[in-house]
Structure 1
Amino acid sequence: MKTINDSINKLVTKWKLEKVKPTTALSSNSNNIIRAYSALYKIDVILKILVQNTYEPEVLKLFNGKGYIILLDYDPEYRGLLLPDIVPGNTLSSLFPKKDIIALEIMAHLVKKMSQINISFNENKFESISDWLQLFHVHKSKKIPKEMLIRALDISKVLLEDHQEQFLLHGDLHQDNILQCAKNALDSDSWVMIDPKGVIGSIEFEVSRFLFNPLPLLIQQSNPKKIIQRRIEQLNYIFGFQRERLADWFFVQAILSACWAERGGGREFLNYFIEVSKYKLN
């Protein structure tokens, strides 16, 4: 069985990596991010060793640098992605809260751009939002209030009854997964998306994740509900989506994230997701 160090050593040789420096302690439970210089590509790079299940390599290959970070190479045997090290690399969270309106416009620009790109892919290769939401049927929670889980399940059923156009989505498009790649932070084209999960679903679902992030910063503001409400109004104006459906997706996604967190995908955020879900507007 390959260890994380085995994978790193093999990929360091393959891609001629120097100045190798993990950003955090290496883990067998979460994806590993390593900064380095590639003598092969002659640029600073990020080596990402995948541990968690994701369709990130497939998504990055399909979009080929359009709106997403460029995938320089991928090694399926060692589950290693080689990516350029984005400069300056600030996340969209850096605009919160003072420039939150601009941040949402940047996200919306990227989503619109992605929805207009004609890519050919096998839908059966990816999970759907409906697949993800099956978790509400099986998740046994000790911390999420039962009435919240039941409500999220009931609302999700209604949302999925409206058969909207389906796209290959990022699936986790919050502020920290959008990085600044050029000097002008207020220019929509100066940002790229990273860390896609890859899921088939509606644009409504894609943009609604933005509503309850960044955490915990959002719930530390004096009036989180007002911020969420203003974001819903802004998305209604940009995309024409119904306010009620955006509010519903906001709640469903917050509870879905709480379920994931409780199952081991970031337990430190579990209480944040539960808390922010209480700001549902209707």
Structure 2
Amino acid sequence: MSLPPNFVRNITAFGPAGAQWLELLPALLDNCARRWDLTLLPAFPNLSFNYVANAVRADGTGVVLKIGPPMGDMRDERAALRAYDGRGAVRLLASDDARNVMLLERLTPGETLTGMASEARDAEATAIAADVMRRLWRPAPPDHDFPTVAEWGEGFTKMRARFGGGVGPFPQAITEEAEALFADLLATSDAPVLLHGDLHHDNILSSGDTWLAIDPKGLVGEPAYEVGAMLRNLWEDRHTHADPGRLLSRRAHQLADALGLNPARVKGWAMAQAVLSAWWTVEDGGDYWQSTFDLAHLLREIPI
């Protein structure tokens, strides 16, 4: 079977276990096709760490098959989709948890919100994102096993341990400011809800006359935390905007107003998350974190 080279590189980077999974993937696909009576279509061209492809059920219904390698557990995503049950998010139709397989409804036309993220239409895209957030957020199940914002914030502790108590290659002043801000926001958080955890333009798709989220991380924390991803996303396209600081400020105020959030908390979470995201990049072996700090500096300065 033909797989995108980048996908193959990502999976084989896991070592022998990744290479073995790629060898077993055709048999796993055949098992899914027989189990759910599917006609499998070619894989999506932009695969990263999961195999994703459209498929058709025997009754002609279009679905999406998503298979993750064993080293990339999708447990929290499955649990979040079950909790959402189609309200604001794509519906989980079936799953094989042991094999890390999900069968999802296919969203049509399935265009991402990215196509509406030009400066001229950014307010429209932001309003759609706010509506999706409102539909997603709900009290976390009482017996949930989702990660929490506090647990994600432990990345700062791991960073310190990695660099002998320091901040390594990161700019010290803003890194320490973000670290302190994260702790303060966490200590003063509103009541937690079930968050998507990575809700940005590429994870919001059109479905008929509405929009739905895909690929939830499944995270428990205060609502204002969710907004950070929408502010950080498309940062690499900032040079196409005449004034990216003004765009970020307008987006932050619009989301805060639409969702009844404190704009200062929205801005603070976004800035702290940007620095934490830079650490995650280094933790995963990447070296492309510098632009994330450019964003953190800009977020710190935008008027709120």
1:68 aligns with 2:86: no
Q: Deviations over 1:63-97 (max 9, x none)?
A: 11111101111111210111122111111111112
CA distance in 2, matches of 1:57, 1:268: 31
Q: How does 1:33-112 map to 2 (within 5 A)?
A: 33-39=52-58, 42-51=60-69, 52-54=72-74, 55-97=76-118, 98-112=120-134
- What SS is found at the alignment partner of 2:212? strand
- What SS is found at the alignment partner of 2:92? coil
Q: Is the 8 A contact 1:229 1:281 kept in 2?
A: no
1:216: which partner in 2?
236
Amino acid at match of 1:105: A
1:237: which partner in 2?
257
Amino acid at match of 2:37: K
Aligned residues: 270
Which of these residues, 226, 244, 262, is aligned with residue 246 of structure 2? 226
1:113: which partner in 2?
135
Counterparts in 2 of 1:136 and 1:220: CA distance versus 1, 3 Å: farther
1:167: which partner in 2?
193
Q: Is the 8 A contact 2:33 2:40 kept in 1?
A: no
Deviation, structure 1 residue 108: 1.2
CA distance in 2, matches of 1:133, 1:119: 19
Q: Deviations over 1:135-154 (max 9, x none)?
A: 01112476533433322211
TM-score of the pair, normalised by structure 2: 0.80
- What SS is found at the alignment partner of 2:99? coil
Q: Deviations over 1:249-272 (max 9, x none)?
A: 11111122222223338x486344
Counterparts in 2 of 1:93 and 1:262: CA distance versus 1, 3 Å: same
Query: Which range moved further: 128-137 or 89-98?
Result: 89-98
Counterparts in 2 of 1:264 and 1:15: CA distance versus 1, 3 Å: farther
CA distance in 1, matches of 2:264, 2:188: 13
Q: Deviations over 1:9-35 (max 9, x none)?
A: 3222212222431224877xx122122
Counterparts in 2 of 1:166 and 1:25: CA distance versus 1, 3 Å: closer
Unaligned runs of 5+ in 1: 185-189
- What SS is found at the alignment partner of 1:60? helix
CA distance in 1, matches of 2:195, 2:168: 31
Deviation, structure 1 residue 202: 0.7
Counterparts in 2 of 1:252 and 1:86: CA distance versus 1, 3 Å: same
Counterparts in 2 of 1:58 and 1:121: CA distance versus 1, 3 Å: farther
CA distance in 2, matches of 1:86, 1:154: 41
- What SS is found at the alignment partner of 1:281? helix
1:150: which partner in 2?
176
Amino acid at match of 2:108: V
1:7: which partner in 2?
28
CA distance in 1, matches of 2:180, 2:140: 33
Q: Is the 8 A contact 1:136 1:149 kept in 2?
A: no
